[in-house]
């Protein structure tokens, strides 16, 4: 892909990432879940030709911290539980009312044990938020595994079902284990990374939780240090965004002049105009014709006014903070439902720490444009 841009980029903000001499190992788990919503307007607008449904996997992350010969393990998000019919009734009704198509084969605990990871070694499961496609089935982990949630969770959402018949999760998800709600002001000690309030989980700069409100009560992200020289990070964006077009392009990362259409997997290349196949490039300017603001520095989508987000305005502010990380060449932004990563990255049990050397961020960054290319029409005469 050309590094030339269709507009000048605003100076990238300083993220204030503190130095550190410790990393964690990050392994991205494809949870075997696949979700499709029949109405993309529940998330974003305007609707683009050929992109009326949102299809998505659900990723989980195994985080391993080595210190003094001891391995501490965390799991960030759990996808959808295998027996989703046994979710809280409110969630089962939502899935079966025709809004969603849902498939899932395994629990994350199954995936871990199949590869020799004893679930007793998992120190904590972190819920980025309480939606059904992230909470999985914590009861498949022993009671010694803590459950970590974000600010406001307990007051707004406890108790679970059946004590509260309208609760979106089960009492058994947290009963008998430590349910820890992160207080970023007290535990974070005023630490900020970019413009996110942060908590240094291990106390050595290797893994942070970020306060990322808006999409749901208690929504949080994770930031893992994956190498020291250069210092690189994986940002686990959870549901800050559901599609690349919600936060790309941006004022810091304008649309490129030239885009290589889906160079990784020919299966997705079919979504692009025929004239751009076979190793050719697609002019980025073509996408300005279908951009509702005709802007190379603003995302293709805005959040729907009456969509799924708990607080639209706060979610928009979180997206702006994500954009500041997204432009940094040493940060790989991984949203929980980015289906285009399926063609790019290595999944568990392989490590994702070498993402920068492998070029995963560069290869995947503009792949979402293939979802929008139906609106370009026949571009053969424009190339």
Q: What is the pLDDT along the chain (383 residues), one digit of tens a residue?
A: 446 889 999 999 999 999 999 999 999 999 999 998 878 888 999 988 889 888 899 999 999 999 889 999 999 999 999 999 999 999 999 889 877 889 999 999 999 999 999 999 999 999 999 999 999 999 999 999 999 999 999 999 999 999 999 999 999 999 999 999 999 999 999 999 999 999 999 999 999 999 999 999 999 999 999 999 999 999 999 999 999 999 999 999 999 998 876 544 444 444 444 434 445 678 888 999 899 999 999 999 999 998 889 999 999 999 999 999 999 999 999 999 999 999 899 999 999 999 999 999 999 999 999 899 887 765 434 43
29 falls within a domain: yes
**Which residue range(s) make up the domain with 243?**
25-372
Q: What whole-number distance in Å separates Cα of residue 325 and Cα of residue 194?
A: 7
Task: Tell me which residue of 245, 202, 240 sits closest to 220, measured CA to CA.
Answer: 240
11 falls within a domain: no
pLDDT at residue number 261: 64
128 falls within a domain: yes
Backbone angles phi, psi at 382, to 5 degrees: -100, -5
Q: What whole-number distance in Å separates Cα of residue 380 and Cα of residue 383?
A: 6
Peptide linkage before 179 cis (omega within 30 of 0)? no
pLDDT at residue number 374: 80
141 falls within a domain: yes
Would the pTM count as exceeding 0.85? yes
> Tokens 């997204």 belong to which residue?
326
2 falls within a domain: no
CB count in 10 Å sphere of residue 378: 9
308 falls within a domain: yes
14 falls within a domain: no
User: Are 294 and 6 spatial neighbours (Cβ–Cβ below 8 Å)?
Assistant: no
CATH number at 302 reads 3.60.15.10
Total structural domains in the chain? 1
Q: What whole-number distance in Å separates Cα of residue 213 and Cα of residue 216?
A: 7
9 falls within a domain: no
């Amino acid at each position: 892909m050309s590094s030339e841009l269709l507009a000048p980029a605003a100076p990238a903000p300083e993220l204030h990432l503190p130095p550190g001499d410790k990393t964690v190992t990050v392994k991205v788990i494809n949870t075997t879940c696949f979700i499709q919503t029949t109405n993309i307007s529940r998330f974003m607008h305007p609707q683009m030709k050929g992109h009326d449904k949102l299809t998505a996997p659900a990723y989980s992350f195994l985080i391993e911290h080595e210190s003094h010969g001891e391995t501490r393990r965390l799991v960030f998000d759990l996808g959808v539980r295998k027996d989703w019919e046994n979710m809280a009734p409110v969630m089962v009704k939502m899935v079966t009312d025709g809004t969603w198509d849902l498939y899932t084969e395994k629990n994350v605990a199954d995936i871990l044990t199949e590869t020799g990871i004893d679930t007793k070694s998992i120190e904590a499961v972190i819920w980025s938020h309480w939606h059904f496609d992230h909470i999985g089935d914590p009861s498949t982990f022993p009671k010694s595994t803590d459950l970590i949630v974000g600010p406001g969770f307990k007051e707004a959402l406890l108790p679970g079902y059946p004590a509260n018949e309208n609760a979106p999760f089960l009492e058994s998800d947290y009963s008998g284990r430590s349910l820890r709600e992160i207080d970023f002001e007290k535990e974070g000690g005023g630490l900020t990374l970019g413009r996110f309030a942060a908590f240094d989980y291990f106390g050595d700069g290797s893994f942070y939780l970020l306060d990322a409100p808006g999409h749901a009560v208690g929504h949080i992200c994770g930031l893992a240090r994956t190498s020291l020289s250069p210092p690189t990070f994986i940002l686990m964006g959870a549901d800050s965004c559901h599609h690349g077009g919600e936060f790309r392009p941006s004022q810091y990362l304008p649309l490129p002049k030239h885009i290589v259409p889906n160079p990784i997997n020919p299966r997705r290349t079919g979504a692009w105009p025929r004239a751009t196949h076979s190793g050719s490039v697609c002019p980025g300017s073509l996408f300005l014709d279908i951009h509702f603001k005709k802007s190379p520095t603003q995302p293709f989508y805005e959040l729907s006014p009456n969509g799924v987000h708990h607080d639209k305005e706060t979610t928009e502010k979180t997206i702006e903070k994500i954009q500041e990380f997204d432009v940094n060449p040493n940060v790989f932004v991984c949203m929980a439902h980015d289906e285009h990563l399926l063609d790019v990255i290595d999944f568990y049990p392989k490590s994702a720490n070498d993402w920068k050397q492998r070029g995963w961020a560069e290869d995947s960054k503009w792949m979402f444009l293939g979802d929008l290319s139906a609106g370009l029409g026949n571009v053969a005469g424009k190339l």
